[in-house]
Amino acid sequence: MGKKRVAQKSEEELLAEKKEREEAIRKKEKGEIKKSRVKKARVYINATYNNTVITLTDKNGDTLSWVTAGSLGFKGTKKATPYAASRVATVIGNKAEKIGIQEIDIYVKGVGSGRNSALKSLSNRKMRIKSINDVTPIPHNGCRPPKPRRV
């Protein structure tokens, strides 16, 4: 193997790269400004038997932030505990306050043990809770049962 050559960039290329980086930073800042203008939001709590997922969206349904019990470091069966759900709700509440949200609608889905504790820790926040809706799907007779077995 021969010597490796280091590619030298001209001043024009360096200036173009610098300009691209500055534009990307400006766009990122504009996105943060857009988030800070959000005053009303929706919080979706999905409490399953295995995990708790909380998503923060604006009124159009565009996701602003989300947190799960697994992303906070809980593993295995500990993800489905009420304590994990309250920690998840605390983190999402902090993010919502940082964005500047003042009023939230809460949509709860699932039958996990973290439902109530997540609601409680969200209600302890400074944000005003406008409504709480339960959107858990309810089975209605389910699918057709199998035919009886013929022997």
Residue 122: CB partners within 8 Å, gap ≥ 6? 43, 89, 92, 93, 104, 106, 129
CB 139 within 8 Å of CB 106: no
Residue 7 in any domain: the answer is: no
Band of pLDDT at residue 2, cut at 50, 70 and 90: low
Token code pair at residue 114: 């973290």
Assess if residue 103 is contained within a domain. yes
Which tokens sit at 18?
């610098």
For 116, the domain range is 37-134
Structure confidence by residue, pLDDT tens digits, 53-107: 999 999 888 899 999 999 999 999 999 999 999 999 999 999 999 988 999 999 9
**Letter for the amino acid at 110?**
G
Q: Are the beta carbons of 77 and 52 closer than 8 angstroms? A: no
Q: Is the dihedral of CA 88, 93, 95, 101 positive or negative?
A: positive
Give the integer Cα–Cα distance in Å for 57 and 93: 12
State the CATH number of the domain containing residue 81.
3.30.420.80
Lookup: tokens for 57: 């969206």
| Number of compact structural domains in the chain | 1
Q: Is residue 42 part of a domain?
A: yes
pLDDT at 73: 93
pTM for the model: 0.71
Residue 143 lies in a domain: no
Query: Is 68 in a helix, a strand, or coil?
Result: strand
Q: Is residue 14 part of a domain?
A: no
The answer, yes or no, to whether residue 31 has pLDDT greater than 80, is: no
